A and B are shown apart, each in its own frame.
Chain A
Amino acid sequence: MNQALPSLAGQALDHLGDHERKGLLRFLTCGSVDDGKSTLIGRLLHDTKRLFEDQVAALQKDSRKYGTQGEELDFALLVDGLEAEREQGITIDVAYRFFATEARKFIVADTPGHEQYTRNMATGASNSDLAIILIDARKGVLQQTRRHSFIVSLLGIRHVVVAVNKMDLVGYDREVLQRIRAEYEAFSQGFGFETLEVIPMSALTGENVTRRSEAMDWHDGPTLLEHLEAVEVAGEDRLGPFRMPVQWVNRPNLDFRGYAGTIVSGAIRPGDKVAVAASGRVATVARIATMDGDLDEAVAGDAVTITLQEEVDISRGDVLSPPESRPEVSDRLSAHVIWMGDQGLRTDRNYVIKAGKRSTTGVVARIEHGIDVNSLKHLPTSTLALNEIGFCEIHLSAPIAFDPYEVNREMGSFVLIDPLTNQTVGAGLIWASLRKADNIHRQAFDIDRAARARLTGQTPRVLWFTGLSGAGKSTIANLVEQRLHAQGRLTFLLDGDNVRHGLNRDLGFTEADRVENIRRVGEVARLFTEAGVITLVSFISPFRSDRQMARDLFAPGEFVEIHVHAPLDVAETRDPKGLYRKARAGEISNFTGIDSPYEAPEGAELVLDTVVRPAEELADEVIRYLGL
């Protein structure tokens, strides 16, 4: 190898320059179970000489052990990398593989065909520009072919290859191909594919994959690789107006305040005006700062740090845009939802919704219709089960800035997360805002929270006291409020009993009411903190998910969860209001600690043990925590 170096060096380095300039194509393989997706990718890697000798040796060994092709190589084993996949001969989760030819670089996502793993297929599709949909020539278009095609179309992929595979098993029959082509074209008519290339092939033998097939000399289209190398897939999203979701506010010292984020569309230059979507404020770009020096211009795809000439209040999740072409801002949306949770979607539950760099909570208030992936018909439904797709109305607890998914993938997508399990249970594609007034852009209120905070001279926070009835929440909250008041701070205490008699007197103790109870208190606390007030909330709030929902309404650091702790037997002996006695006697039901659980906080900012320390000391600890 050493001797070869000098002569090859120049050639190789030229190659390196090419490698850097080559365009990148991201694609996925999908389709029904066993149609040959993984085999096809293995074949592509092998025939484009992407495999090293030790990998080929391992493949030979694996093929003998797990292979489905007798003495021959089983190319699927190159991509099915998990133990369970190799043993069962199926793909479970998406594999990302890389290869390059003289013309292009490729990142391919090999996705599973099993319906059970549709969410992993969607994962692979979400970042792809092209989809290869495989069809087993013997079986034709199946339900899973239709499901995947629909998801591909929904996710905005505009370039599709239909790979009619296993032609070797149907005698390379041209009519088989024509039948499948006709059926597929009829089915996918409304899918908005810009290119649709149907290629007959055999992944097993490699025919029409990287080399032409003699047995199918009637095929006058390109081989798969020729097509992948040539197809044009302009990323149109990126051409739209400037959008940058703020990901992180960089404040290393008083002289530098930068807004870091990735530009998802358009371009920006120093001197450009930008508007902050949520507040409507406008400012001028001062610098685009990078470690390699300031930039004259940054474009879609770049991760940058922008500084502004004016001081404006911007935090993570805000979106910067040109003042004359802003995204929409709304808390009511219509969206397609692909459900991925093992438990079905529920319209009476709060989910965490992460859209771009912003997290909030929300409910799927209504499912307008479900979609039958076979017939594409709309079906009335009240839930979505695993892998089902529906068109839904979403209500958010705080407005978000967005563009419709069709216009801008990054600005129009979100995921739903179950706050109890932390699982990602759904993917959402925003269609439109459901508030007509949102087309009128928000006017900047001249007095914002920063201005109010300056006036009161304090950092507004919410102190959320949670614990059993009788644990001492109200006692300690009162003491804390007195101490703050004595320091000249503006405070307000929201206490469970008082609020239940006024604001929330229409609520009972069902699950839905309980959630609504906490939601309202959280919202009120937010209004108070926006007004600059240090807000104390003293509520049993026994469920983690409810407290998390409240926490999600606030900026990081603003919500201080304080667990006022006393064991149940202690709280019950205290029984200041005689409620435990009543609950034990069966006079009240759903009482926390007796016939309803208390979920202790796992990540509380403070835990106050009221058994070992007096209330005064604990109140002082809260004050110390606040640094006041």
Chain B
Amino acid sequence: MSNRGSHLRRLEAQSIEIIREVVAEMSRPVMLYSIGKDSSVMLHLARKAFYPAPPPFPLLHIDTTWKFREMIAFRDRMAAEAGMELLTHTNRQGLAEGINPFDHGSSYYTQVMKTDALKQALSHYGFDAAFGGARRDEEKSRSKERVFSFRTGSHGWDPKNQRPELWSIFNTRVRPGESLRVFPLSNWTELDIWQYIRSENIPIVPLYYAAERPVVERDGMLVMVDDERLPLRPGEVPQRRQVRFRTLGCYPLTAAIDSAATTLDEIVTEMLIARTSERSGRLIDHDEAASMEKKKREGYF
């Protein structure tokens, strides 16, 4: 970041300050690592914040078992490179009950395999602060959230009663069992993220780049056939198409877009002329009008 006073340098510095504040004040922080582009940027910032030491907290990945295979390989490599402990957690009970996005619907599946799993892991390890890579520009209820967002003992968010947050003074006080969700990327936009990845050469999962991949077209979305678990509907035949992803989640719930962008510059160019928002590729966001806020109140990130 040589470009003094530039927008990205300011964003970088603010995020580093936030990350350091958590480590200075909380007794057991963890960084939620979802393997996507925002997580990659957040991890990079954490490494900068504590250089030359590795970040003094573990990474936590909530593994729904439905992530793209490429993501898992990438995750293990990045954690090792950063010299950080990687914790993974799966909701065993949900797995045993065979909860999946097809038979149980994306909403219930998300509740069990993501939200409940996350709450289990946070309680199990006794984390009192968890970093998340969410940005305010992603979604309307996120645009309302504090950088240091208080969570009750049952991990709930009360959007109508948030702590005032002035200047860069953060109230980090919690009682045992309560916790904070902390969002160092609150003020970054999607464009800032890509630009930063480009200028810092941050590695990202190859799924963000266009390549020929097996997909089926379903309800107007392109779903990638990442393994044999995807039940094909009558008449559906996987075809190979040049596609990429703007955002990454569970493969059955994340839509691909037709694209020829195979370099970062091409990705950014495509983004600048895009007509739809990045979250339009997230099937879970469409479930109901206030769905993100509802999930967040229940403990989702």
Contact = CB atoms under 8 A, between A and B. Distances in A.
Interface of A: 1-2, 4-5, 8-9, 12-13, 15-16, 19-22, 24, 52-55, 61-62, 65, 78-79, 81-84, 86, 92-98, 105, 107, 119-120, 122-123, 126-127, 247-248, 250-252, 256, 258, 260-262, 289-292, 299, 301-303, 305, 316, 340, 352, 354-357, 409-410, 413-415, 417, 419, 422-424, 427, 602-603
B115 to A, nearest CB: 18
Q: With a 10 A CB-CB cut-off, give which of A289, A419, A423 has the most chain B CB atoms.
A: A423
Pairs A-B, 5 closest by C-beta atoms: A81-B140, A252-B53, A126-B166, A303-B16, A303-B13
Nearest to A340: B164
Contacts of A356: 169
A424 B163 contact: yes
B94 interface: no
A13 B164 CA distance: 39
A19 B166 CA distance: 27
Contacts of A105: 7
SS of A interface (majority) = mixed
Contacts of A301: 5, 9-10, 13
B277 A291 contact: no
Contacts of A413: 166-167, 169
B52 A602 contact: no
B143 A602 contact: no
Nearest to A341: B164
Q: With a 10 A CB-CB cut-off, give which of A120, A247, A251 has the most chain B CB atoms.
A: A247
B141 interface: yes
Given A19-B191, A52-B276, A302-B13, A5 B269 contact: yes
Interface string B133-148: 0001101111110000
B176 A12 contact: no
B5 A252 contact: no
B274 interface: yes
B126 to A, nearest CB: 11
Given A83-B290, A84-B160, A299 B5 contact: yes
B291 to A, nearest CB: 10
Interface string B289-301: 1100110000000
B7 A24 contact: yes
A154 to B, nearest CB: 12
B23 interface: yes
B174 A292 contact: no
Contacts of A62: 289
B216 interface: no
B21 A247 contact: yes
Interface in B47-105: 47-54
A2 B261 CA distance: 8
Contact of A2 (B17, B23, B260, B289): B260
Contacts of A92: 159-160
B52 A252 contact: yes
Given A95-B144, A98-B136, 10 more contacts: A9-B266, A81-B293, A96-B136, A122-B164, A258-B52, A260-B50, A262-B17, A290-B48, A355-B169, A424-B164
Q: How large is the interface on B (under 10, 10 to 19, 20 to 34, 35 or more residues)?
A: 35 or more
Given A123-B166, A427-B166, A5 B260 contact: yes
B171 A415 contact: yes
Contact of A5 (B6, B139, B165, B261): B261
Q: With a 10 A CB-CB cut-off, give which of A82, A126, A423 has the most chain B CB atoms.
A: A82
Contacts of B144: 81-82, 93-95
Contacts of B187: 96, 98, 107
A413 B4 CA distance: 26
B165 A417 contact: no
B266 A5 contact: yes
B23 A52 contact: no
B20 A260 contact: yes
A205 to B, nearest CB: 24
B51 A290 contact: yes
Contacts, number: 202
A419 B174 CA distance: 10
A20 B270 CA distance: 17
B124 interface: no
A251 B164 CA distance: 33
A24 B266 CA distance: 25
Contacts of B277: 52, 54-55
Contact of A22 (B7, B52, B140, B261): B7
Contacts of A93: 144, 159-160, 162
Nearest to A426: B164
B259 A95 contact: no
A303 B7 contact: no
Contact of B269 (A13, A52, A96): A13
B53 A9 contact: no
Contact of B141 (A21, A52, A82): A82
Q: With a 10 A CB-CB cut-off, give which of A53, A92, A305, A410 has the most chain B CB atoms.
A: A305
Contacts of B280: 52, 54
Contacts of A83: 290, 293-294
Contacts of B23: 248
Contacts of B166: 122-123, 126-127, 413, 415, 427
Nearest to B178: A422
11 contacts: A1-B273, A4-B273, A5-B261, A21-B7, A52-B280, A54-B280, A248-B24, A258-B52, A302-B9, A316-B24, A413-B166
A427 B48 CA distance: 31
Contacts of A2: 258-260
Interface in B239-269: 258-261, 265-266, 268-269
Contacts of A98: 136-137, 187, 189
B6 to A, nearest CB: 6
A330 B260 CA distance: 62
Nearest to B258: A2
Contacts of B266: 5, 9
Contact of B165 (A20, A95, A123): A123
A97 B137 contact: yes
B34 interface: no
A97 B189 CA distance: 10
